[in-house]
Each structure stands twice: as C-alpha cells, then as structure tokens.
Amino acid sequence: MASESLEIAKKFWEEYSPLHSTDPYTRHRLAQELSNRLVHIFHPGDFYYFVFNISMASFDYLSPSVEQVLGYKREEMTTDAFFDLFHPDDLKTYVNSEYESGKFLRSLSKDRLFKYKLRTDFRMRKKDGQYTRILHQTMVFDTNEEGAVLRSFGVHTDIGYLKMDGKSILSFIGFDGEPSYFDVKVGEHLIPMKEMLSTREKEILLLIMDGLHNKGIAAKLHISKETVDKHRKNMLAKTGCKNSGELITRAIKNGWI
C-alpha cells in the first residue's frame, strides 16, 4: 500500500512540478529560488550576517536585515553600539566565551581553522527596548600567512521565541571529519589588576552596561549630565579605550568592576 502511494505521489510531482521542465532557463530560475528558500529553512528565525574585522574590532560588512532583527539600521550598529545592546547578565559570559573560542582556534593548524563553526547564544536589546535571544554563529573567513585570524563571517539569528532564559551554551562544530565539542565549559578569565576606576566611575560604567544613556545615568545618580560626560571621557582616557564597547570588555576581562 505504501509503495503504491509513493508511485502515485511521484506521478503527481512529475506532472505538476516545474522542476521537471526541459527549459534550461526555467530550471535555472527555479533552482535559484530553491537555493534562496533553503537559506530560510536552515535558519530558525530572522537573521542578519556580517564580516567582522578582528584586528580593527569593527564590521567590514553588516547586512541590512539587522534592522528586521534588532530594529536598528546598519549605520547605527558600530562595535560600540553592539556592546551596548548586550543584556548585562550575558556580557561577561560572552567575553569569556570569546576567550575560550580564541584559545580553541589557536590550538588548530591553519588548514583546520576553516573547518569549524563557533556557536553560542545571548540576549540583546532591540530598539523597542525588549530583549530577545540571539544565536551567534561564526566561522573563520580570513587569516594571515602565519594562521592568525583576521576576519570572521558570522550570522545572528533571532531565537527568542525558542529560548529566552537559561544559560548560554558554547559549542565548536566541526566539518569535514573534524570532531565537534558541545556545551564547552567557559571559565573565568578575569585578570587581577590595580584599581583603574573610581567608585563613581564604576557606578556609571555599570549603568552604561544596563543600557542607560548619559541623561538617564545623571538622573539615576542625581548628578548633572555634564558630570557624566566628564566621567565617561576620563574613563576612556585613563584606560586607553577607544569607545564604551572596548571599555566594557576590558573592564570585565580585567576585573575592574
């Protein structure tokens, strides 16, 4: 009965599917449409992709679909802005995951670098103020002659409707016969250093990590916006950071807060 049903189904597909057309143009067009559809089939939600320049700590390219996922135009999504959107409870985990990922990549020979996908997840704040969970997947895109990673290609997929709470999970997914490592243990890689920030500066930095802008920080701490501006400028100067995103990363990694 099952085999008879399959034969009937095959005849139906042959009769009604344009993919069986003998016209080369039609077959090419449909194959291209199918390829485009497969991209969406293999992604569990809306997504955007990017090429990240590691040495410059900036995006070489960011797809316009970032606006569909997070609500921001791609011109707004600098590295600084990107770090500002992290959920405060997930930023530290992300930085430690980046450390583990870098350590793993450095253990690989140059030819094996391109055979792995790094995957984790975290919460990010959308333009409407609501948080969603992002599936973060990256692969090595470019290296120098010594095998140091210069650029990575990444995809961010909105999976907030699948998973909102729970811990972030880091995995290294191997291709072409390479082994995969799931739920990799992420250690604490905070480096003890001398006190870099004053008590007031730490208060302001923590509020920046909470997503507050200078005016909101001033109201929260009952000080003027000009005072907050000055503290932010002083923090960047004394730490040698170029922007708030770099300051947050270094503060977490070095244990300044």
Q: What whole-number percentage of the chain has pLDDT above 70?
A: 81
Q: What whole-number percentage of the chain has pLDDT above 90?
A: 47
Structure tokens at 248: 């947050």
- Shared-domain flag, residues 203 and 159: no
- Shared-domain flag, residues 67 and 133: yes
**Which among 139, 174, 209 is the end of a domain?**
174
CB 123 within 8 A of CB 133: yes
pLDDT for the residue 255: 72
181 found inside a domain: no
pLDDT for the residue 32: 66
Where is average pLDDT lowest: 169-178, 185-194, 203-212?
185-194
CA-to-CA dists, residue 196 to 73, 129, 137, 226, angstroms: 34, 31, 33, 22
Alpha carbon distance 140, 236 (integer Å): 30
22-52 residue pLDDT tens: 566 665 666 666 666 666 667 788 999 999 9
Domain holding 247: CATH number? 1.10.10.10
Per-position DSSP letters for 118-147, written without gaps between them:
EEEEEEEE-TTS-EEEEEEEEEEEEE-TT-
Instruction: Provide the domain limits for residue 52.
Output: 47-174
CA-angle at 85, arms to 59 and 183, nearest 5°? 85
- Shared-domain flag, residues 226 and 131: no
- Shared-domain flag, residues 158 and 238: no
Q: Give me the count of residues in the chain.
A: 257
Structure tokens at 191: 């480096």
33 found inside a domain: no
158 found inside a domain: yes
- Shared-domain flag, residues 89 and 158: yes
- Shared-domain flag, residues 132 and 232: no
153 found inside a domain: yes
pLDDT for the residue 39: 63
Count CB-CB contacts under 10 A for residue 193.
11
Contacts of residue 22, Cβ cutoff 8 Å, sequence gap at least 6: none
Alpha carbon distance 134, 131 (integer Å): 10
How many domains, the chain? 2
Domain holding 63: CATH number? 3.30.450.20
pLDDT for the residue 220: 92
- Shared-domain flag, residues 135 and 210: no
pLDDT for the residue 38: 62
Q: Among all chains, which residue has been given the structure tokens 């194959």?
A: 31
Predicted TM-score of the model (pTM): 0.65
- For residues 32 and 89, the model is more confident at 89
Count CB-CB contacts under 10 A for residue 21.
12
- Shared-domain flag, residues 103 and 162: yes
At 91 the three-state DSSP class reads helix
**Which among 141, 174, 207 is the end of a domain?**
174
pLDDT for the residue 189: 62
208-237 residue pLDDT tens: 988 899 999 999 999 999 999 999 988 888
